[in-house]
Amino acid sequence: MKSTNRANLPAAILVLLLLMVWQAAAIGMDAAYILPSPAQVLRRLWELRKPLFCAHLPATMSVVGIGLLISIVLGLALAILMDLSPVAEKALYPLVIASQTIPTTALAPLFVLWFGYSIWSKVLVTVLMTFFPVTITVFDGFRSVRADMKDLMTSFGANPGQIFLKLKLPAVMPYFFSALKMAIPLSIIGAAIGEWLGAQSGLGYFSRRMMTQLDGAGVFAPILLLSAAAMLLVALVNLVERRVIIWRSNM
């Protein structure tokens, strides 16, 4: 533990320095509605703790939760399908790539028209942004499965189902965790954008409302919370990953 603390030290010092520069610049500018100082943001976070933590954080997290779940299921399903069938790969792969050229942010107002201010317009934005890295990373994982290991299984008389369960699935696990760690921040960004464009609650919505009131610190406070949530979730995944994947070093 001590050594990891020391490894993080340069990053911590840099963050501290940047915060000091920011603080100094904000004091120099003296226009909190444009550039609030870090201290002001923290103070605002404390003042707004009740609506932020009790109403808006849960609203955003439920969008993130549902969106992430759908993205993982969809991403895994697409990756498995493309791995199983070359025809599916030829049909789906270009489509999956093309889906990323859609400017989701520009379309999101349409989603509000389709789904109203319900949670689903936000979930759709989240899924559109998140399923892609899951699909591609897991599919890359399937493609990285060593052909000689597959040959060995075949020489043992393994059928495709056994090769999938005993070789591909475990081999793809490290990729799955990487995908998860990419998906979490993206899903939070997706949820915030969705809320920014049309919602009645959520951190993204709250941030936008503060904007219209020219409350600079109030814009930053929910954003700070979003980042903290993303870091916390990724740390959690790291913890689980270290338990599950003991072999990554020699893959």
The Cα 155–Cα 63 span in angstroms is 47
Binding residue (CB under 8 A) for another protein from 45, 173, 184, 233: 173
> Out of 2, 11, 103, 148, which residue is the one contacting another protein (CB under 8 A)?
148
Where helices occur in 144-202 by DSSP H, the ranges are 147-155, 160-163, 169-197
| Position 74 contacts another protein (CB under 8 A) | no
Q: Does 1 bind another protein (CB under 8 A)?
A: no
Check residue 171 for interaction with another protein (CB under 8 A).
yes
Q: Decide if residue 156 touches another protein (CB under 8 A).
A: yes
Which token pair is 178? Answer: 């990487």
Interface with another protein, residue 160, by CB under 8 A = no
- Applying CB under 8 A, among 158, 182, 223, 237 the residue interacting with another protein is 158
Per CB under 8 A, the segment of 43-51, 120-128, 160-168, 196-204 that binds another protein is 160-168
Min. distance of Cβ 179 from another protein in angstroms?
A: 18
| Binding segment (CB under 8 A) for another protein, from list 6-14, 151-159, 179-187, 212-220 | 151-159
Q: Within its chain, how far is the Cα of 196 from the centroid?
A: 17
Q: Give me the least distance between CB of 157 and another protein, in Å please.
A: 3
CA atoms within 13 A on the CB side of 235: 6
Interface residue with another protein, options 77, 92, 149, 223 (CB under 8 A): 149
Asked whether position 42 contacts another protein by CB under 8 A, the answer is: no
> Residue 148 — φ and ψ, nearest 5°?
-70, -30
Task: Output 231-236 pairs: Cβ under 8 A, ≥24 positions apart.
Answer: 233/184, 233/188, 234/181, 234/184, 234/185
Is residue 243 a contact point for another protein (CB under 8 A)? no
Nearer to another protein, 150 or 181 (CB): 150
The answer to whether residues 97 and 240 touch, using CB atoms and an 8 Å cutoff, is no
Stretch that binds another protein, among 46-54, 87-95, 149-157, 233-241 (CB under 8 A): 149-157
Helix (H, G, I), strand (E, B) or coil at 247: coil
Q: How many helices (H) and strands (E) does the chain have?
A: 13, 0
**Which one, 91 or 165, has the nearer CB to another protein?**
165
Question: Which stretches within 54-118 are classed as H helix?
Answer: 57-84, 86-99, 104-115
Question: Of 163, 226, 158, which Cα lies nearest the Cα of 194?
Answer: 226
What residues line the site for another protein (CB under 8 A)? 146, 148-149, 151-158, 162, 166-167, 170-171, 173, 245-247, 249-251
